[in-house]
A and B are shown apart, each in its own frame.
Chain A
Amino acid sequence: MWQSLYAELKDKGFMVVAVAEESRGADHARPWIEQAKSEYWQLIDTEHRLEDLYNLSNVPQAIWIDEQGRIVRPPETAGSTDHFRRMDLKTRTMTPEDQAGRLAARQAYFDAVRDWVNTGKHALPADDARARLPKVTPRIAEARTRFRLGVWLRAHGSTAEGDRQMNEASTLHPESWSMWRQAADLDEVGKASGPDFWKRVQALGERPYYPPPKL
């Protein structure tokens, strides 16, 4: 997804690190990675370690890090939009207007990354960056711990107990789509975007699934 941007900007001191939040492991992610034909890093995060470290809650989310290793934009939606919520579920298609809107939002995000690399634009002052950080609560910390245990248990044959831990994780941190969808996917490939997923999305009401980045 990021290859064209990377190819354009790599000689300007720019790097992309794509991280697959993929508890089924590298072989499950491989077809997508091979199809991407990317030259940047493609890393595999079976335990969702990055989500723990950076307090992430959905994919795709991106973090911008400057030359000194400082966060200049905290986690935010990386190029995706909520247009999919109006999709016709029978035909799996969007209206031309929604398709155009989705493309324009993605383009605007790509442009922002390009501007950052070329001019430093969109890098937030420290106070603004800090103010936008999602806070880790004790419930979220416990949810991540149960998720970690659940992934391990599932990978080592304790399917029912692993499921239970992952369900408890989602109950403790219902805003995390990653935990819920990963658990659904481990249960059965495809379930993460099945009827239960759509029910959860509908239950959001006016709230966003992909909060738009404030560029």
Chain B
Amino acid sequence: MTKILTPADQFEVATRDGLWMSAADALRVTGFALKPEGMCRDEICVPMSAGSVKGAEIDVEAFWKKLGGPVIASDAGDVWALGAPADERNAALEGLQAPDFTLPDIDGTPRSLSELRGRKVFVATWASW
């Protein structure tokens, strides 16, 4: 199994020759579904070249790069990180709707920014280092 790290999650997926995987796994990892017109999420479809789809298998590395996102593999090829495309991050921020996030508190309870709608929220980072 291959470990795949996405910006907000991580997955164990059966892959071969890099990041070739089933369409079902590709949907799970990327949120995009394989359709005749390409890889689609909501109204967006990314056309796929003939070389990056074989039957119901997809080269997710090729797809992710076409989307404009970075793809970095570990030396052994057993862990891959798919990063958010710069354009996607910029578009989200320029829309000024605060991107939602879910993070654990000190006791492990998950908390989401969206739970605080209706209040003014001051989000501040810190670190021990």
Residues of A within 8 A of B (CB): 1-2, 13-22, 24, 26, 28-30, 32-33, 41-45, 49-56, 59-71, 74, 78, 113, 116-117, 126, 129-130, 133, 135-138, 140-142, 144-146, 148-149, 152-153, 158, 161, 165, 178, 181-182, 184-185, 189, 192-193
Contact = CB atoms under 8 A, between A and B. Distances in A.
B86 interface: yes
A137 B8 CA distance: 19
Contacts of A138: 68, 70, 86
Contacts of B122: 2, 14-17, 62, 64-65, 113
A209 to B, nearest CB: 14
Given A17-B124, A141-B83, 19 more contacts: A18-B124, A19-B123, A22-B128, A50-B101, A53-B92, A55-B93, A60-B124, A60-B125, A61-B125, A64-B120, A137-B86, A146-B70, A149-B74, A149-B79, A152-B10, A152-B79, A178-B125, A184-B129, A185-B129
B83 A133 contact: no
Interface string B93-129: 1101111010111101001011011111111111111
Interface in B42-90: 68-72, 74-75, 79-86, 89-90
Contacts of B72: 142, 145-146, 149, 165
Contacts of B82: 145
Given A52-B84, A60-B125, A141-B83, A69 B5 contact: no
B7 interface: yes
A100 B88 CA distance: 42
A70 B125 CA distance: 18
A40 to B, nearest CB: 9
Contacts of B106: 26, 29-30, 33, 42, 44
B8, B92, B123: residue with the most chain A Cβ atoms closer than 10 Å: B123
B125 A26 contact: no
Contact of B121 (A17, A20, A51, A149): A17
Interface in B1-46: 3, 5, 7-8, 10
Interface of B: 3, 5, 7-8, 10, 68-72, 74-75, 79-86, 89-90, 92-94, 96-99, 101, 103-106, 108, 111, 113-114, 116-129
